[in-house]
Structure 1
């Protein structure tokens, strides 16, 4: 097929392949990770100039130059990433523009790199003694590199580290609460995308047989980002679609437009810009999702994957040792949190023992969720101590607290809506297996991945959502999403489970099923601390209650004792005869206390 293809299209396909390598890195970095970078062209330049200098001035093999170029790119990307990725909002893309311009001017001003004249006479690549000096020959190497990179990137995204990477955009705080170091994953995908750009630069240099600074400037960095957005920012196949669409469209506009308007003026960029605005207006998720949806419609594939088989049975993940039943698990000693002059938690003290279910209740604004956030490390304490199994929590980060065995759900559901239910739950088990990025990209983590997915499926079966494994989490009702959060927390195998309004949005039978699961966990030795506004649910489930009001502990004791406490009735209800609520699922006349989370 290649032998009969015109030279023009061979060259065009080569450029599409080179661009696709860079854009594939941006798919991971920007589309999936949510980190916008305008500077990928600079990494292309590092790969191109490294091999150009080493093969011409030093006489080294292009393959050795590739290895050294990747090493150099890794070092530069790591340093730049460690500095730049600390920025947020519009400062991050501005930071990438700054170092892209810096590297561009560095290429043009270093004498040993030929300054703005560049380096010519670059040696051709040889594979098994065959010279790839012509475009028809290097074509195969370019597209082998593209396809292998796509395969590796797809493997990475569908793995343990890939789930953490997908949590970067919109789920970073949640992921940190399950022990995932999100800052490290930001640097990982930054370096990964830079290495793909370096590979593209190496291929470019040996295809062109000469390099100069112009292809590595900011305008090319913007164009690469544009390709990623147009193709489909979160899709591996979108990298090829976006690269092909932009490059072919630019070329065809340059050829056709002068014939239509009979002028040699440079109107191509104007027309191209208008067309791209239309694409972004009517295909905001890119072109590839439209193609994929059309293909599913043609082939009759169903959007729902509810009937897909569960993951095959795998070896069970190791469990944490459980403390002896009745032993001290959690202790708050005069824990206090101030926001300026506002005291949200006022010297709260209580203890929780192994196998005990404790409820933390109080009116809206009482400070319950703030107390939860102090325990889980989301907020630092102003004063006082919080201890878990004898270790201080009040000075630790959320991910370090998760490593000790504390799992949690959130007052406002924090799932990744475009990920499947089983993937969301497997994210909770992140710490129970250690799979590196390289192993994931090369698909060497099959055993570990099978164990993680099996654990996720087991916890979903436990909470009654086993038939929804492969549904997108965002498609489920709010009550079901809350149950998914509980399954995700259970997948972490916690010693202490923090549940923030777990019954909100559940129907009466679903609440009964949830209560049954929580009692079973308690019998197994797990400690549970829950905030809940449904007092009928709380009174029938908990062994112990702590009542808060305006950040202060108002009462503590067994549920029947707390219900009779005059201070609780006065502060919580405003008088027992005036503000009594009834649970709609219960027979009228049964008094319940009503209150929301802080």
Structure 2
């Protein structure tokens, strides 16, 4: 309803006698917001900083300007060519750039942004620094869009449709995978998500949005030159996204509007104040950026949202999945079947042997404990089994298939799921959405279906499964809570629910009872026994000995990276070697 109201208001502005100046300003705000939307996806949601988006704007603008002036191609066809070129360039740049991390990634975007800018500036057929003049105006079913008022509708229809498409995308299976990128690759890969593929996807989507903005810009300005596509403009686009709220779709519009309006006013006021000409507004923007990053790191949109919340009711996901069909389940191993065979696995970090030829097995329907003092190598062994770390030697066989050396997402695809020693979650998503992320491999809808809202049946099935798993661990009442608001104990339980949502044949729990109160531990024990009764096998690392001894069928004890003993809880408790490992020996 709010979106419809905004769209109706925008539709009335050109015919309501609004001065031409403000129509022009709104046109630029719409163009800039489309680029900033891409940065919301790329930087705000995925955590990938780019200073080079202006170069993609230039690709779209120059391609359409050149084809429409030199070859008389219709602007409605030039966008197709521009998109093909932009996607090809984006894929080539992504294959190099996105393999970098840390500060190297934004530095790389500056490098290719400058390269594309100077390439466009020095091409003879593109007019070099003078650019291309006489770009034709667009027509829509015989109606000329030469005036700013007529073009206003095209710009804002594209901008609002792009915003709605991005909102739909983020509220989908693909969107949850994209949002998982910001939390690091380990958890996302453990859920079966190819993080590199999704980084490339987001990079290309942001480039496409910039290209569309450039195409619109060329036929709005009716002339194209390199100046609007310099690296300084790329920084300005990023500033718009950060100022408005880099993690929110509507923040792109707020940021674009504020920057455009402030820029125009400051270009008039500051030269009068300082008594000379110059780009003084850049100084002000720099100061504003520092203040925003210090005092409002989420940008200005959260303040707008909070203010609007006084009049608008809080939005909560409608529970419309009660009658949804259940997700498909994988075939389960037969009771007693050899499920996991860890064969002399070894991990060396230089001269340090963290895991030294450790072997053990798990059969279907067992709960196996992996214990040992701090630094014994338990979590490293977990990471070797699940593919987070590569093996130095040895092998791991799961359900008769060698999985040692496979990526963690490939191991997850075969039916192994895990939790982490330090809880890994997406705090800005609800508990329900975090758990639904575990159903990634059990669903298939992609980008186009998500943007067009054709994935709703599958989404309902995913949320029904996520709710079922939360109910199993006693957290159904908290499913609409933001995950970042959870205490440590409930956060660990949520992580178990997410792992269960993958429909695993083997569940690996890394210290699941850490941080839980006594009653929560008892409830967790009940849940794990019920899972065992249903045929699920569990490998458990835990420091709480009472919890382990009362729950497991067999226990493997590690010390200094080696296997010390394996046996039943009673045998382990009676072992002098185990007591010595935990308590030391007398001399």
Q: Tell me, yes or no, whether TM beats 0.5.
A: yes
- Further displaced range: 175-184 or 89-98: 89-98
- The aligned residue for residue 417 of structure 1 is 427
Q: Could you give the per-residue CA deviations for residues 168-220 of structure 1, whole angstroms, max 9, x where no partner exists?
A: 11232101011100000000010000000010011011111111111111111
TM-score, structure 2 normalization:
0.95
Contact 1:253/1:272 (<8 A) preserved: no
- Could you say which residue in structure 1 is the equivalent of 2:37? 24
Query: Which residue in the other structure is 2:105 paired with?
Result: 92
* 1:266–1:53 CA distance, 2 compared to 1 (3 A): closer
Compared CA separation, residues 561 and 279, structure 1 to 2 (3 A):
closer
Query: In the alignment, is residue 111 of structure 1 matched against residue 111 of structure 2?
Result: no
- 1:38–1:96 CA contact under 8 A, matched in 2: yes
CA displacement at 1:392 relative to structure 2: 1.4
Q: Which residue of 2 aligns with 1:456?
A: 466
Q: Deviations over 1:346-368 (max 9, x none)?
A: 11111100001100111111111
Once the two structures are TM-superposed, the CA of residue 275 in structure 1 deviates from its matched residue by: 3.6
Q: Verify: 1:244 aligned to 2:257, yes or no.
A: yes
Q: Distance in 1 between matches of 2:35 and 2:56?
A: 9
Alpha-carbon distance, 1:223 to partner:
0.5
Which of 484, 495, 516 is the matching residue for 2:526?
A: 516
Q: Distance in 1 between matches of 2:378 and 2:88?
A: 46
Which aligned pairs between 1:487-506 and structure 2 lie closer than 5 A? Answer: 487-506=497-516
How many residue pairs align between the two structures?
A: 573
Checking the alignment, whether the CA contact within 8 Å between 1:311 and 1:457 is kept in structure 2 is no
Q: 1-side partners of 2:281 and 2:49: how far apart?
A: 27
CA distance in 1, matches of 2:218, 2:229: 12
Query: Do 2:320 and 2:460's aligned partners in 1 also have CA atoms closer than 8 Å?
Result: no
Q: Counterparts of 1:211 and 1:293 in 2: how far apart (Å)? A: 41
Q: Within 5 Å, give how 1:331-342 maps onto structure 2.
A: 331-342=341-352
Matched, 1:312 2:322: yes
Superposition map of 1:44-193 within 5 A: 44-193=57-206
Q: Check the 8 A contact 2:342/2:361 in 1, yes or no.
A: yes
**Preserved contact between residue 51 and residue 234 of structure 2 (Cα < 8 Å):** yes
Q: CA RMSD in A?
A: 1.7
Q: Which runs of 5+ in 1 are unaligned?
A: 579-598
Between the aligned partners of 2:280 and 2:566, the Cα distance in structure 1 is: 76
List runs of 5+ in structure 2 lacking aligned partners.
1-12
For 2:36 and 2:397, how far apart are their aligned partners in 1?
Answer: 47
Matched, 1:283 2:296: yes
What is the CA–CA distance in structure 2 between the aligned matches of 1:23 and 1:257, rounded to whole Å?
A: 26
CA distance in structure 2 between the aligned counterparts of 1:375 and 1:231, rounded to whole angstroms: 44
2:488 corresponds to: 478
Which residue of the partner structure matches residue 299 of structure 1?
A: 311
The more displaced of 513-522 and 191-200 is 513-522
Task: Report the secondary structure of 1:279's partner residue.
Answer: helix
Pair 1:16–1:549, CA change in 2 (3 A): same
1:364 aligns with one of 367, 371, 374: 374
**Structure 2 residue aligned with 1:395:** 405
Match of 1:355, SS state, is coil
2:437 to 408, 422, 427: 427
Cα deviations by residue, 1:416-462 (Å, 9 ceiling, x for unpaired): 11111011111111000111111111111111111111111110011
Of the structure 1 ranges 279-288 and 48-57, higher mean CA displacement relative to structure 2 is found in: 279-288
- Paired position in structure 1 for 2:576: 566
Kept after mapping to 1: 8 A contact 2:134/2:223: yes
Give, in whole Å, the separation in 2 of the partners of 1:264 and 1:194: 34
CA contact (8 A) 2:270 2:281 kept: yes
Residue 5 of structure 2 aligns with which residue? none
Structure 1 residue 211 and structure 2 residue 221: aligned?
no
Shift of 1:310: 7.4
Name the stretch that deviates more: 320-329 or 513-522: 513-522
Secondary structure in structure 2 of the residue aligned to 1:211:
coil
The answer to whether the Cα contact below 8 Å between 2:321 and 2:461 also exists between their aligned partners in 1 is no
Aligned-partner SS, 1:348: strand
Cα distance in structure 2, aligned partners of 1:543 and 1:268? 69
1:232 aligned partner: 245
Pick the aligned partner of 1:196 from 202, 209, 214.
Answer: 209
Q: What displacement does 1:299 show?
A: 2.7
Change over 3 Å in CA distance of 1:277–1:383 after alignment to 2: closer
User: Which residue of structure 2 lines up, in the alignment, with residue 535 of structure 1?
Assistant: 545
In the alignment, what sits opposite 1:468? Answer: 478
8 Å CA contact 2:133–2:222 kept in 1: the answer is: yes
Alpha-carbon distance between aligned partners in 2 of 1:258 and 1:101, rounded to the nearest angstrom: 29
Contact 2:335–2:363 (8 Å) recurs in 1: yes
Distance in structure 2 (CA, Å) of the matches to 1:310 and 1:118: 54
Contact 1:308 1:470 in 2 (8 A): no
Distance 1:545 1:252, change over 3 A: same
Secondary structure (helix, strand or coil) at the match of 1:141 reads helix
Whether contact under 8 Å (1:171, 1:416) holds in the other structure is no
**How big is each residue's C-alpha offset from its partner over 1:469-525, in whole Å with a ceiling of 9 and x where there is no partner?**
111111011000000010000000000100001111112221111111111111221
Secondary structure of the corresponding residue to residue 490 of structure 2: helix
Query: Is contact 2:60-2:213 (8 Å) kept?
Result: yes
Q: Secondary structure at the match of 2:306?
A: helix
* Range that drifts further, 313-322 or 260-269: 260-269
What residue in structure 2 maps to residue 553 of structure 1? 563
Residues 545 and 562 in structure 1, CA contact (< 8 A), matched pair in contact too:
yes
Q: Tell me what 2:14 maps to.
A: 2
| 1:70, distance to aligned residue in structure 2 (A) | 0.9
Question: What's the CA shift for 1:528?
Answer: 0.5
The alignment status of 1:33 with 2:43, answered yes or no, reads: no
Where 1:499 maps in the other structure, the secondary structure is: strand
Q: Do the aligned residues in 1 keep the contact of 2:36 with 2:237 (CA within 8 Å)?
A: yes
Measured against aligned partners, the alpha-carbon deviations of 1:245-274 in whole angstroms (never above 9, x if no partner) come to: 011001111223345566556544334433
